[in-house]
Amino acid sequence: MQGRLSPMVDGKVQSFPAATWRDELPLAQACGFALIEWVFDLPDWTVNPIVSEAGRREILELAGRHALDVPVICADYFMHRPLTTGDPAIRSEARGVLFDLICTSPSVGVHQIELPCIGAASLRAEAAAADAAALFRDLTPVLDAHQVDLLLELDLAPVAIAELFRRIESPRIGVNYDTGNSAYWGFDPVEEFAAYGERIRNVHIKDVTKKDYQVPLGAGEVDFDQAFSLLRQVGYAGDFVLQTAREADDEGAARRFRAFTQRYIDRYLA
């Protein structure tokens, strides 16, 4: 996950590293990564190179130089500018930003955009869920034209997620599965995979306790054997992105957490 090979910005665990994003690509390559999940967030999303033609050219050039793919955007922006908000100004801006990302980001290889529908952007309310389902159905022709999928990160119970997808009725909308979120919110992974396992298109690797939202991999309550076994059962063949705890030595942590995850990939999915 972009930002974890840069100093934290304003004490945030995750944010777009505007001053150091270029430096992260050679570090990611040196740590053995094959891809970076691009962070798109506030406060000033307009400085993110993904939104300008010149910036996208630079991303593509640097990623190619360091043998990295940029296949997915983590659009944290939409946690603070919800697509289903009742504020017409924010709603208009957010939907315009999403439309532009869908149309332009494939030029750097992006084929997935993650929408964190949690917190203020949660779809727990019936009105928000209905609005989101209608929006995603309407966007499907645009997604098809640009070969982009929208992946939802949701704080809903498994049965509610299954119902939401019955309403969306679009193969272009999938799920971003976060191992840490599942454990932190107390969901049963068996029930989750039974409800929507075939919709999982991207996986965030994270460990948590009931008290701490992020701890080093292996130090929390996530059952990684169970998670990877379930991923095997649904035939998962997508990417794994480390959305892991920060440490004083972020590069050392990245290498260690990559090796941790690779062991499970080799055990269950090789």
pLDDT digits (tens, 9 = 90+) for 24-76: 999 999 999 999 999 999 989 999 999 999 999 999 999 999 999 999 999 99
**From CA 65, how far away is CA 180, in angstroms rounded?**
33
Q: Residue 59 has what pLDDT?
A: 98
Checking if the pLDDT of 105 tops 90, the result is yes
- pLDDT above 70 as % of the chain: 100
Using DSSP's 3-state secondary structure scheme, residue 155 falls into coil
Q: Residue 112 has what pLDDT?
A: 98
Q: Where are the domains of the chain?
A: 21-268
**CATH topology assigned to domain 21-268:** TIM Barrel (3.20.20)
Residue 38's nearest CA partner among 53, 25, 27 is 25
pLDDT interval class at 7 (50, 70, 90): very high
Average pLDDT, the chain: 97
Checking if the pLDDT of 9 tops 90, the result is no
pLDDT interval class at 10 (50, 70, 90): confident
pTM: 0.96
Q: Residue 120 has what pLDDT?
A: 93
Q: Both tokens of residue 122?
A: 């949660």
**From CA 94, how far away is CA 221, in angstroms rounded?**
35
